Amino acid sequence: MLLDVRDLTTTFRTRRGTVRAVDRVSFSIERGTTLGFVGESGCGKSVTALSIMGLVPTPQGQIESGSIALTTKGTTRDLTALGPRSAEMRSIRGNEIAMVFQEPLSSLNPVLPVGHQISEALKLHRGLSKTEARSEVVRLLRDVGIPSPETTRRRFPHQLSGGMRQRVMIAMALSCHPSLLIADEPTTALDVTIQAQVLSIFRSIHEEREAALMFITHDLGVIARIADAVAVMYLGKVVEYAPVAELFAQPLHPYTVGLMDSVPSIAGPRKDRLLPIKGSVPEAGTVHRGCVFAERCAHVMDRCRESMPALVETAPGRTVACFLHADEAEDE
Ligand SMILES: Nc1ncnc2c1ncn2[C@@H]1O[C@H](COP(=O)(O)OP(=O)(O)OP(=O)(O)O)[C@@H](O)[C@H]1O
Ligand SMILES: [Mg+2]
């Protein structure tokens, strides 16, 4: 197993009290596979990714408990035990795990040509010479589908379209040959055609490089096209986890069912994409006695208001946190 996250809890101290942005989340990612994370805004997808990267904003945010085991080259390390700014964690960020952030502009330096930014990373992390780095930059830019890499490498970020910038970000993330690539909504800001191109770049990353991919999106359509397995998050918790085909064939959690119904289908009438499920996501600071989804659930029962259902296995590789399915699991 490349990455094994157990009971991860990440909190933020705010004026309104402590917010559990990620609440006892567990999942794992095998080499060469893609795990998709899906859920509405504010459910904790980015904070999960930042926790793995050791980039939770301090001092207000911290990993409160849990473990993040990364196994590379036969060695397993618990990333929560390493200081976020330690030399070891910096080396892991440069060489083992890379992230494509939600905001490509904010993560590129506006005053340096994009090729220069990638070659700096190559010189630093892979020890390439100036000439080696230059040809590697051209190769990487070509790999991510940039048509004229020789010209593009000399451009500044603001001279590129959103789609091109996103490709540059992917090239930069790939430059260190990471074992795990985390992509946080990498296609959201792009138009549909470019989205499809960027997705196919991510797909080819596996085939050619055997990197594992953690792909974050609020769009189930994107998940269907890229992921092997899916973790559905709601209010800091994973409420359902399943292989992608099984999730689409039979979603179990009422929240997942709601998300599916909100995906516009080509055949049927277009549904409202903005209000997939009645009500809205409560604030992360809210204290819940029962199930986090009870307020919005069409199938809510008395016991749902009493306690949060545990994540139970209903079939091999499938788990769900819902009392509607708790008995199925007990019967087996
Ligand atoms: N720096 C911070 N300080 C305080 N609270 C934060 C901070 N960053 C995130 N949070 C809170 O943590 C929760 C999870 O946020 P997160 O950014 O992970 O959501 P998300 O699922 O990535 O949403 P989106 O789809 O909008 O990107 C939210 O309630 C958010 O308000
Ligand atoms: Mg986010």
Q: In order along the chain (332 residues), what is the average pLDDT of each group of 10 residues?
A: 97 89 95 93 94 94 97 94 92 91 80 94 90 95 90 95 88 89 85 80 79 91 92 95 96 93 56 49 68 91 94 93 81 50
Rounded to two decimals, the pTM is 0.90
Q: What is the pLDDT of residues 124-148, one digit of tens each?
A: 888 999 999 999 999 999 988 898 9
Res 264: pLDDT: 59
Q: Which ligand is nearest to the CA of 41?
A: 1
- Which atom in ligand 1 lies closest to the alpha carbon of residue 284? 29
Protein residue whose Cα sits closest to atom 4 of ligand 1: 12
Selecting from 3.40.50.2020, 2.60.120.40, 3.40.50.300, 3.30.360.10, what CATH number does the domain 3-96+178-331 have? 3.40.50.300
Protein residue whose Cα sits closest to atom 10 of ligand 1: 21
- Inter-residue contact 202 to 25 (CB < 8 Å): no
Res 286: pLDDT: 63
Q: Which ligand is nearest to the CA of 13?
A: 1
Q: Locate tokens 């092997």: which residue?
A: 228
What are the residue ranges spanned by the domains of the chain? 3-96+178-331
Residues 309, 303: Cα–Cα separation, whole Å: 9
Task: Give me ligand 2 centre to Cα 40, in Å.
Answer: 9
Protein residue whose Cα sits closest to atom 3 of ligand 1: 12
Protein residue whose Cα sits closest to atom 28 of ligand 1: 42
Res 330: pLDDT: 56
Q: Where on the phi/psi map is residue 109: left (φ > 0), alpha (ψ -120 to 50), or beta? A: beta
Side-chain-side CA neighbours of residue 236 (13 Å): 22
Res 261: pLDDT: 82
Question: Please, which residues have CB within 8 angstroms of residue 303's CB and are 6 or more apart in sequence?
Answer: 290, 323
Q: In testing the pocket of ligand 1, which one of 22, 23, 46, 100 has its CB within 8 Å of the most ligand atoms?
A: 46
Q: What is the pLDDT of residues 205-234, one digit of tens each?
A: 777 778 899 999 988 888 998 999 999 999
Res 323: pLDDT: 96
Around Cβ 306, how many Cβ atoms within 10 Å? 12
Res 266: pLDDT: 47
Res 204: pLDDT: 81
Protein residue whose Cα sits closest to atom 16 of ligand 1: 44
Asked if the peptide bond before residue 110 counts as cis, ω within 30 degrees of 0, the response is no
Q: Which ligand is nearest to the CA of 281?
A: 1
Name residues contacting ligand 1 (CB within 6 A). 12, 14, 19, 21, 39, 41-47, 57, 60-61, 218, 284
Residues 175, 182: Cα–Cα separation, whole Å: 14
Task: Give me ligand 1 centre to Cα 116, in Å.
Answer: 32
Q: In testing the pocket of ligand 1, which one of 14, 47, 62 has its CB within 8 Å of the most ligand atoms?
A: 47
